[in-house]
């Protein structure tokens, strides 16, 4: 499958902007696993099982008009222009909610290579095998599978204190104490509160889950880095950030966050002081 040339998409922008951890680059081809399915992406050419086309169309949100989103963001804030120009190929993915919960628990106070290694080890050890084009991959393990494990079982991940958070998430989701399917019909605030019942899920991790799996595009995940960006660019104090982005970007705040985060994290040499 080759996507329409008018659809905004660049695999580097999309897979390297910090929203996902199971896409790996080898010889110019990104290979990803989601929902028990495998996809390969080279430039704008996609390879996957024909029966999975609907899944991947939804995953990549190919029905979303990014040209319109970018135009509306620039109208609200022209300061975003270099960020949008740099990351114009970003698409916010609609990821599996269970995988997103565990992935962002693992991401807390961690770096991307280590996050990816922990997740791949977890999948290799406890996920079901998937054979695609003669190669073997591993699905993300279900909450029921992980709920049967102990911290000792997770020791090979070398995830440290996050082990107990992964197990807590698995136990609460498997038992129904946290009903992840009900999140889709909840308000942002109720969904956030429900997610925060899980140990290791604070406001920022919950907001990443809302944005990257539930498609709540008015949500603006704010970690230390994004707070620093807004402090420097807009002179906004930390306790005023959510009100500021809500008023400035409204329903598009999540898109603005990704453009800001990707641009300034990718251009650390320039930093955020106007150099």
Active site residues: 204
> What is the rounded distance in angstroms from the CA atom of residue 13 to the CA atom of residue 2?
18
> What is the rounded distance in angstroms from the CA atom of residue 202 to the CA atom of residue 9?
31
> What is the rounded distance in angstroms from the CA atom of residue 32 to the CA atom of residue 29?
10
> What is the rounded distance in angstroms from the CA atom of residue 152 to the CA atom of residue 155?
5
> What is the rounded distance in angstroms from the CA atom of residue 62 to the CA atom of residue 273?
35
> What is the rounded distance in angstroms from the CA atom of residue 155 to the CA atom of residue 168?
15
Token pair listed for 104 = 């962002």
> What is the rounded distance in angstroms from the CA atom of residue 193 to the CA atom of residue 202?
9
Residue 99's closest CA among 144, 34, 11? 34
> Cα 51 to the chain's mean position, in Å?
24
Q: Cα-flanking dihedrals φ and ψ of residue 194, to 5°?
A: -65, -45
> What is the rounded distance in angstroms from the CA atom of residue 212 to the CA atom of residue 80?
21
């Amino acid at each position: 499958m080759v996507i329409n040339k008018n659809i905004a998409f660049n695999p580097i922008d999309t897979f390297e902007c910090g929203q996902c951890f199971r896409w790996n680059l080898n010889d110019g081809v990104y290979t990803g696993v989601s929902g028990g399915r495998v996809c390969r992406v080279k430039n704008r050419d996609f390879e996957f099982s024909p029966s999975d086309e609907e899944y991947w169309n939804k995953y990549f949100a190919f029905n979303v008009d990014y040209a319109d989103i970018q135009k509306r963001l620039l109208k609200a804030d022209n300061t975003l222009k270099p960020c949008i120009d740099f990351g114009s190929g970003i698409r916010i993915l609609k990821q599996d909610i269970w995988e997103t919960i565990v992935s962002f628990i693992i991401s807390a106070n961690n770096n991307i290579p280590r996050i990816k290694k922990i997740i791949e080890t977890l999948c290799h050890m406890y996920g079901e095998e998937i054979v695609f084009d003669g190669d073997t991959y591993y699905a993300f393990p279900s909450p029921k599978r992980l709920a049967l494990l102990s911290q000792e079982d997770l020791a090979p991940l070398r995830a440290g204190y996050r082990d107990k958070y992964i197990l807590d998430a698995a136990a609460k989701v498997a038992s129904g104490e946290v009903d992840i399917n009900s999140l889709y019909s909840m308000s942002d605030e109720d969904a956030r509160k429900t997610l925060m019942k899980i140990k290791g899920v604070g406001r920022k991790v919950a907001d990443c889950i809302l944005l990257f799996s539930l498609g709540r595009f008015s949500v603006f995940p704010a970690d230390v880095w994004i707070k620093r960006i807004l402090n420097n660019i807009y002179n906004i104090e930390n306790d005023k950030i959510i009100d500021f982005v809500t008023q400035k970007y409204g329903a598009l705040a999540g898109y603005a966050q990704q453009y800001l985060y990707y641009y300034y994290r990718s251009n650390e040499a320039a930093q955020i002081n106007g150099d």
